[in-house]
Amino acid sequence: MMSRLTELDMIIRLGLGFLAGAIIGFERSSRHQVAGLRTHVLIATGATLLMLLSIWLPQEFSAMKNGDPGRIAAQVVSGIGFLGAGAMIRLGNNIKGLTTAASLWLIAAIGLAIGAGMFLAAAVAVGITLITLIILGVFERRLFPSERNKLLELSYSSSNPDTQKTIGILESFGIRILSVDMDEGIGKGKKKGARLRIFVGIPGTTDIAKLAKALKTSGKVERIEMKEKY
């Protein structure tokens, strides 16, 4: 039989829930995420309290044979999705905050584990979370740099620009070419130009100033414009 939950047990577990939320929340705050230290602390402490309540109710009302410690915990798991959705931000056609949303879901699970007395499992989960957010985050950024989708427009004074040279320059910067479109015969009078539209995926580490300078060398470029692609 499981020992009865005492007030001291509740205080210890709530304190550990607070600590777990503070550790993960501090990491998120250091990266200036929308859900940071206070949000993670509140979720972890709240999940711990709800798990304690789930255990305490059947313990105190043993005459009620329908007591189930898993009912409240199940509602926490489904309900945390609303907070996770609020942590995600749409920037153009990119979504930011998925990792923070996942950390909110995980910290709720850690809080439930602490509330249930699974201290070792909760500690291991906190350690794995920190490794994932900090160490794996560094490797991920190096191996798979973040990418922004942009519409690149180049206006030429010539009606027959060297598009292959332009594409070669973009590829040398590690930029993905998604689509290419050309408008020829643009301009008034005898002097006709061209406009090249390229839908590209630009790594977040790309030096835009160097890219613009290199594109200027592709031949008779009058203007370079970069826009968000929706």
What are the structural domain ranges in the chain? 7-143, 147-228
Residue 90: what pLDDT? 57
Amino acid type, 58: P
Query: For the purposes of burial, counting CB atoms within 10 Å of the CB of 61, is it exposed (0-12), middle (13-18) or buried (19 or more)?
Result: exposed
CATH 3.40.50.920 for the 147-228 domain, yes or no: no
Query: For the purposes of burial, counting CB atoms within 10 Å of the CB of 39, is it exposed (0-12), middle (13-18) or buried (19 or more)?
Result: buried
Confidence of residue 1 (pLDDT cuts 50, 70, 90): very low
Confidence of residue 12 (pLDDT cuts 50, 70, 90): very high
Higher pLDDT, 191 or 199: 199
pLDDT digits (tens, 9 = 90+) for 39-92: 889 889 988 988 888 888 777 766 655 656 667 777 787 777 777 776 666 555
